[in-house]
Amino acid sequence: MARFRYERKDGEFAAAMAAIKDPIAFAGTAAISEAGDIVKREGRADIAAAGFSKRWQNALRVNVYPRRKYSINAAALIFHNIRYAGVFEEGATISGRPRLWLPLPTAPKRAGRKKMTPALYVKTIGPLFSIERPGKPPLLAGRIATNRRGSKTGKVSLSALKRGGAGAPSTLVPLFIGIDRVNIRDRFSIRQITERAAARLGALYLKHLKV
Protein backbone atom coordinates (compact mmCIF):
# COMPACT_ATOMS: atom_id res chain seq x y z
CA MET A 1 0.00 0.00 0.00
CA ALA A 2 1.38 3.37 -1.03
CA ARG A 3 1.46 6.16 1.50
CA PHE A 4 1.57 9.87 0.85
CA ARG A 5 2.69 12.49 3.26
CA TYR A 6 2.01 16.19 2.97
CA GLU A 7 3.96 18.79 4.85
CA ARG A 8 2.37 22.22 5.09
CA LYS A 9 4.58 25.19 4.41
CA ASP A 10 3.80 28.46 6.14
CA GLY A 11 1.76 30.77 3.91
CA GLU A 12 1.12 28.13 1.27
CA PHE A 13 -2.63 27.84 1.87
CA ALA A 14 -3.05 31.62 2.02
CA ALA A 15 -1.17 31.98 -1.25
CA ALA A 16 -3.37 29.36 -2.88
CA MET A 17 -6.53 31.10 -1.76
CA ALA A 18 -5.20 34.45 -2.92
CA ALA A 19 -4.54 32.94 -6.34
CA ILE A 20 -8.19 32.02 -6.82
CA LYS A 21 -9.65 35.11 -5.13
CA ASP A 22 -9.37 37.33 -8.20
CA PRO A 23 -11.11 34.87 -10.60
CA ILE A 24 -13.90 34.38 -8.06
CA ALA A 25 -14.35 38.13 -7.61
CA PHE A 26 -14.33 38.62 -11.38
CA ALA A 27 -16.90 35.86 -11.94
CA GLY A 28 -19.17 37.15 -9.17
CA THR A 29 -19.08 40.72 -10.44
CA ALA A 30 -19.52 39.67 -14.06
CA ALA A 31 -22.52 37.49 -13.13
CA ILE A 32 -24.17 40.35 -11.24
CA SER A 33 -23.46 42.77 -14.11
CA GLU A 34 -24.93 40.43 -16.72
CA ALA A 35 -28.00 39.75 -14.59
CA GLY A 36 -28.43 43.52 -14.21
CA ASP A 37 -28.18 43.97 -17.97
CA ILE A 38 -30.88 41.34 -18.43
CA VAL A 39 -33.19 43.13 -15.99
CA LYS A 40 -32.55 46.49 -17.66
CA ARG A 41 -33.12 45.16 -21.18
CA GLU A 42 -36.20 43.06 -20.40
CA GLY A 43 -37.57 45.62 -17.93
CA ARG A 44 -37.39 48.45 -20.45
CA ALA A 45 -39.08 46.24 -23.03
CA ASP A 46 -41.81 45.48 -20.48
CA ILE A 47 -42.36 49.19 -19.85
CA ALA A 48 -42.51 49.83 -23.60
CA ALA A 49 -45.05 47.03 -24.05
CA ALA A 50 -47.24 48.73 -21.43
CA GLY A 51 -47.37 51.78 -23.73
CA PHE A 52 -44.99 54.07 -21.83
CA SER A 53 -42.63 56.53 -23.51
CA LYS A 54 -38.90 56.25 -24.12
CA ARG A 55 -38.39 58.55 -21.13
CA TRP A 56 -40.13 56.04 -18.88
CA GLN A 57 -38.20 53.14 -20.40
CA ASN A 58 -34.80 54.80 -19.95
CA ALA A 59 -35.64 55.79 -16.37
CA LEU A 60 -35.24 52.13 -15.32
CA ARG A 61 -31.62 51.95 -14.12
CA VAL A 62 -29.24 49.32 -12.78
CA ASN A 63 -26.12 50.23 -10.77
CA VAL A 64 -23.53 47.56 -9.94
CA TYR A 65 -21.42 47.97 -6.81
CA PRO A 66 -18.58 48.38 -6.14
CA ARG A 67 -18.03 50.57 -9.18
CA ARG A 68 -15.15 49.91 -11.56
CA LYS A 69 -13.65 47.01 -9.62
CA TYR A 70 -14.31 43.35 -8.90
CA SER A 71 -15.63 42.01 -5.60
CA ILE A 72 -16.83 38.71 -4.15
CA ASN A 73 -19.63 40.77 -2.57
CA ALA A 74 -20.78 42.54 -5.74
CA ALA A 75 -24.40 43.69 -5.74
CA ALA A 76 -26.83 45.37 -8.14
CA LEU A 77 -29.29 48.16 -7.30
CA ILE A 78 -32.32 48.22 -9.60
CA PHE A 79 -34.43 51.37 -9.46
CA HIS A 80 -36.66 53.71 -11.47
CA ASN A 81 -35.87 57.42 -11.64
CA ILE A 82 -39.54 58.39 -11.66
CA ARG A 83 -40.53 58.27 -8.00
CA TYR A 84 -44.12 57.06 -8.45
CA ALA A 85 -43.28 54.33 -10.98
CA GLY A 86 -43.97 51.70 -8.30
CA VAL A 87 -47.68 52.48 -8.63
CA PHE A 88 -47.62 50.76 -12.03
CA GLU A 89 -45.81 47.72 -10.58
CA GLU A 90 -48.22 47.14 -7.70
CA GLY A 91 -51.40 48.93 -8.80
CA ALA A 92 -53.11 51.47 -6.55
CA THR A 93 -56.25 53.45 -5.82
CA ILE A 94 -55.69 57.21 -5.59
CA SER A 95 -58.41 59.26 -3.95
CA GLY A 96 -59.01 62.98 -4.34
CA ARG A 97 -59.26 65.61 -1.60
CA PRO A 98 -62.15 65.77 -2.28
CA ARG A 99 -61.60 65.33 -6.05
CA LEU A 100 -58.86 64.53 -8.50
CA TRP A 101 -58.80 66.97 -11.40
CA LEU A 102 -57.60 65.24 -14.54
CA PRO A 103 -56.69 67.24 -17.66
CA LEU A 104 -58.87 66.83 -20.72
CA PRO A 105 -57.28 66.71 -24.21
CA THR A 106 -58.06 70.43 -24.54
CA ALA A 107 -55.86 71.37 -21.56
CA PRO A 108 -52.29 72.58 -22.19
CA LYS A 109 -49.81 69.80 -21.38
CA ARG A 110 -47.32 72.00 -19.54
CA ALA A 111 -46.52 75.44 -18.27
CA GLY A 112 -42.80 75.75 -18.81
CA ARG A 113 -41.31 72.50 -17.50
CA LYS A 114 -44.15 71.74 -15.09
CA LYS A 115 -47.11 69.48 -15.82
CA MET A 116 -50.34 71.42 -16.04
CA THR A 117 -52.64 71.36 -13.00
CA PRO A 118 -55.63 73.57 -12.13
CA ALA A 119 -53.53 75.54 -9.64
CA LEU A 120 -50.76 76.05 -12.18
CA TYR A 121 -53.30 77.06 -14.82
CA VAL A 122 -54.74 79.77 -12.58
CA LYS A 123 -51.25 80.98 -11.73
CA THR A 124 -49.88 81.14 -15.28
CA ILE A 125 -52.89 81.55 -17.61
CA GLY A 126 -56.09 82.73 -15.99
CA PRO A 127 -59.15 81.86 -13.89
CA LEU A 128 -61.04 78.57 -14.01
CA PHE A 129 -64.80 78.21 -13.69
CA SER A 130 -66.66 75.26 -12.19
CA ILE A 131 -69.33 73.53 -14.29
CA GLU A 132 -71.59 71.24 -12.25
CA ARG A 133 -73.33 68.45 -14.18
CA PRO A 134 -76.03 66.52 -12.26
CA GLY A 135 -75.19 62.81 -12.37
CA LYS A 136 -71.87 63.45 -14.12
CA PRO A 137 -68.38 64.47 -12.97
CA PRO A 138 -67.91 68.25 -12.70
CA LEU A 139 -65.68 70.21 -15.05
CA LEU A 140 -63.31 73.14 -14.74
CA ALA A 141 -63.37 75.48 -17.73
CA GLY A 142 -61.10 78.28 -18.85
CA ARG A 143 -61.79 81.26 -21.06
CA ILE A 144 -60.56 81.06 -24.65
CA ALA A 145 -60.40 84.08 -26.93
CA THR A 146 -63.02 84.23 -29.69
CA ASN A 147 -63.15 85.97 -33.05
CA ARG A 148 -65.47 88.86 -33.89
CA ARG A 149 -68.38 86.49 -34.45
CA GLY A 150 -67.93 85.03 -30.96
CA SER A 151 -66.57 81.70 -32.16
CA LYS A 152 -63.41 79.95 -31.01
CA THR A 153 -60.39 80.69 -33.14
CA GLY A 154 -59.96 77.11 -34.33
CA LYS A 155 -57.95 74.66 -32.26
CA VAL A 156 -57.57 75.33 -28.53
CA SER A 157 -54.15 76.92 -28.12
CA LEU A 158 -52.15 78.23 -25.20
CA SER A 159 -52.03 81.72 -26.69
CA ALA A 160 -55.83 81.82 -27.17
CA LEU A 161 -56.36 80.68 -23.58
CA LYS A 162 -53.98 83.37 -22.32
CA ARG A 163 -55.80 86.05 -24.29
CA GLY A 164 -59.12 84.81 -22.95
CA GLY A 165 -57.79 84.71 -19.40
CA ALA A 166 -56.46 88.26 -19.80
CA GLY A 167 -59.91 89.64 -20.61
CA ALA A 168 -60.26 89.42 -24.38
CA PRO A 169 -63.71 88.47 -25.81
CA SER A 170 -63.99 84.80 -24.92
CA THR A 171 -66.05 81.69 -24.37
CA LEU A 172 -65.63 78.83 -21.90
CA VAL A 173 -63.88 75.61 -22.86
CA PRO A 174 -63.72 72.58 -20.51
CA LEU A 175 -60.14 71.79 -19.46
CA PHE A 176 -60.30 69.48 -16.41
CA ILE A 177 -62.68 66.79 -15.18
CA GLY A 178 -63.13 66.02 -11.47
CA ILE A 179 -63.37 62.43 -10.20
CA ASP A 180 -63.49 60.97 -6.69
CA ARG A 181 -60.80 58.36 -7.24
CA VAL A 182 -58.85 56.55 -9.91
CA ASN A 183 -57.88 52.87 -9.91
CA ILE A 184 -54.50 52.18 -11.47
CA ARG A 185 -53.89 48.56 -12.43
CA ASP A 186 -50.47 46.96 -12.33
CA ARG A 187 -48.83 47.33 -15.74
CA PHE A 188 -45.16 46.53 -15.12
CA SER A 189 -43.55 43.16 -14.29
CA ILE A 190 -40.11 44.37 -13.17
CA ARG A 191 -40.15 42.26 -9.98
CA GLN A 192 -40.82 39.03 -11.91
CA ILE A 193 -38.11 39.93 -14.44
CA THR A 194 -35.65 40.55 -11.58
CA GLU A 195 -36.52 37.24 -9.93
CA ARG A 196 -35.94 35.35 -13.19
CA ALA A 197 -32.56 37.04 -13.65
CA ALA A 198 -31.59 36.24 -10.04
CA ALA A 199 -32.42 32.57 -10.63
CA ARG A 200 -29.79 32.56 -13.41
CA LEU A 201 -26.96 33.87 -11.23
CA GLY A 202 -25.46 30.42 -10.60
CA ALA A 203 -25.20 29.67 -14.31
CA LEU A 204 -23.88 33.15 -15.05
CA TYR A 205 -21.24 32.76 -12.32
CA LEU A 206 -19.97 29.49 -13.85
CA LYS A 207 -20.00 31.08 -17.29
CA HIS A 208 -17.57 33.80 -16.15
CA LEU A 209 -15.42 31.70 -13.80
CA LYS A 210 -11.93 31.20 -15.26
CA VAL A 211 -9.68 29.09 -13.02
User: Are 19 and 39 in a shared domain?
Assistant: yes
| Contact by Cβ (8 Å): 125, 165 | yes
Query: Does residue 112 lie in a domain region?
Result: yes
Chain mean pLDDT for the chain:
89
Compute how many other C-beta atoms are within 10 angstroms of the C-beta atom of residue 49. 12
DSSP one-letter code for 69: S
* Mean pLDDT within 170-184: 93
Give the DSSP per-residue string, 152-166: B-SS--HHHHHHHHT
pLDDT in tens, 58-72: 999 999 999 989 998
Q: What amino acid occupies position 210?
A: K
pLDDT of 13? 53
User: Are 113 and 151 in a shared domain?
Assistant: yes
pLDDT in tens, 77-102: 999 999 999 999 999 888 888 899 99
pLDDT of 8? 60
Q: State the pLDDT confidence band at 21, using cuts at 50, 70 and 90.
A: confident
Query: Does residue 6 lie in a domain region?
Result: no
User: Are 147 and 193 in a shared domain?
Assistant: no
Question: How much of the chain, in percent, has pLDDT values that exceed 70?
Answer: 87
Centroid of chain to Cα 81: 6
pLDDT of 148? 67
User: Are 84 and 147 in a shared domain?
Assistant: no
pLDDT of 151? 62
| Contact by Cβ (8 Å): 197, 204 | no
User: Are 149 and 191 in a shared domain?
Assistant: no
User: Are 178 and 131 in a shared domain?
Assistant: yes
User: Are 96 and 177 in a shared domain?
Assistant: yes
User: Are 96 and 82 in a shared domain?
Assistant: no
Domain of 96, in residue numbers: 92-184
* Mean pLDDT within 97-122: 91
Segment among 60-64, 165-169, 176-180 with least mean pLDDT: 165-169
Residue 111's closest CA among 122, 97, 96, 127? Answer: 122
User: Are 68 and 130 in a shared domain?
Assistant: no
Q: Are strands 60-65 and 170-184 parallel, antiparallel or unpaired?
A: unpaired
- Count how many domains the chain has: 2
Residue 194's closest CA among 73, 35, 20, 13? Answer: 35
Residue 129's closest CA among 180, 175, 169? Answer: 175
Query: Does residue 2 lie in a domain region?
Result: no
pLDDT of 16? 52
Q: State the pLDDT confidence band at 131, using cuts at 50, 70 and 90.
A: very high
User: Are 103 and 32 in a shared domain?
Assistant: no
157, HSE (Cβ side, Cα atoms, 13 Å): 9
Q: State the pLDDT confidence band at 156, using cuts at 50, 70 and 90.
A: confident
